[in-house]
Chains A and B, each alone.
Chain A
Amino acid sequence: MDNLQYIRNKFDQLQAENATSGLQAIRKKAFDSFNRLGIPVKHEEWKYTRISPLFNKEYKLNQATPVSWKELEEIRLPGYEQATELVFVNGIFSFPLSTIRSSHILVMPLEEAVKSEYREIISKHLGHSGKYQKDGINALNTAFVKDGVFLFVKKGQIVEQPVYIYNVTDSRSGNVLSQPRSLVYVSENAQVQIVETYGTLGLDESFTNQVLEIIVDRDARAEYYKIQNDSAHTNQVSTTHIRQIAKSYTHTVTISLNGGIIRNNLNLVLDAEYCEGHLYGLYLQKGQTHVDNHTVVDNVKPNCFSNELYKGIIDERATGVFNGKIFVQPQAQKTNAYQSNKNILLSDDASVNTKPQLEIFADDVKCSHGCTVGRLNEEGLFYLQSRGIPSKIARSLLLHAFAIDVLEHIRPEPIREYVDKLISERLEFDGHD
């Protein structure tokens, strides 16, 4: 493939231009992996999501273009006036567009961080997701790690306002492959909320291959929200890797509303005793959107708790995939792990493949999983209609009710209201509030 040759050339160029970079070795190792693993074709983890055709197209890789906030108004999240805003354009962190509004956090380019007092954190944690994503896609991102940031949340500090991360693709002149890459470290006793969203300028095709790794230290709390509401000509593989290295709490909500092909990898590594993690997801699809949520909860140490709930409403010709793995390692006794996936199909052409996958190697654990695929509850519909509510409104009320137990876990209020509005509009909700 010509495109692969282009990627190879780009890689050689990157390494030559940054010969003294502290990230040289990490990139080299990852690129070797990429060459060995290749683009997933007949890969068990990619059974329902075919991304190899995307690599037949030509993309521009890692090219910054000038973008102004004026052009980004549509994707700007409410409450931004108080929030810290970090902007990536085509995978490259943009200092001019970003604003840090908290003294409790530190943002520095990964290239700098690897030379700073934080270098041990970087070398220990950057690329840990590769242990879970054993495919060329993850390696490809790491091979080009350069223009991402290290976000450090200081010890004992509560970041009062959320951190918004915007991943902007500018495909106004040609197809774009962008690879945002960042590392977040939430120190002891610190608290932070991160909200991530995606937006595209331009009509050419784009492929975003993103990796975000979040490390959570003792008694820290991290909340992470992902909102995917991009255009239909955008595709993405978005990997979020959360590793709790000491007793701590995490909470993630993934909302997928629009896009072409969306593949989310969410890893929760409970790498210390008494960790607690919550994972919620909602995918609301129509058109030909394909949303694939692959989640992994790895119970490495004993006495951890995790709860997972993913819900999907799939209409028209859209397809959904849910694959939920729970690993309980031999030493991880007293694990509590729960998983549930519920789907409503609204059309005959809509489909979903759901697969819970529990691999339990310890004997004293409580684990449960369940999945459902069904239609809208007809009896519920009749109940609402019999009270005078027209069927169209009754349908949207019922679907909204279905979505709400994921929605209500979005804690930053402006974001919850924003997502609720997007969903209500999608469901053509015509309430009287």
Chain B
Amino acid sequence: MEPMEIAEQIKGKFPSEVKEIVEFQGQVSVLIKKDKLLEIMNFLHKTPELYFDFLVDLCGVDYLGKKETRFEVVYHLLSIKYNKAIRIKAEVSEDDCVIDSVVGIWLGANWHERECYDMFGIKFNGHPDLRRILMPEDWEGYPLRKDYPLKSDLGDKEWKGFKEVIAIGKKNLAYEVR
């Protein structure tokens, strides 16, 4: 079955959920609403003729100011049996920054979803252990968002955090450091 046919099949089964089907360089992406994500994913995973048993990748994308809905969560699926790949993209708005977790279908989604939460602040409903993974646990902000600065705007000035860190460190020390 060609990727385009698979996309049409999804649209046939969930006509109200599929928003857009795009093909570029032979790769097909299906843009869906997030509400029935688990149903669609289960359909792709369980249907014997499709059998997408392999979640290759899961990541977030921030379309700040470029698209109506700010975030998209992108799933790259592969069927090892049929050697067919498809890309599913689910829209996640900034106000309702939550999407269902697919860990129940693919265990490999666990760390990918944690990274997506870490980098974009998208929460995953039903994730067993949703914590930051690459950034420190007390980190503020979500680094891969488009409004997160690449560099600090302090210029040559010292990062004030250092002083705070040093002050806290001194307070915790029993003796004065010279």
Task: Decide whether A and B assemble into one complex.
Answer: no
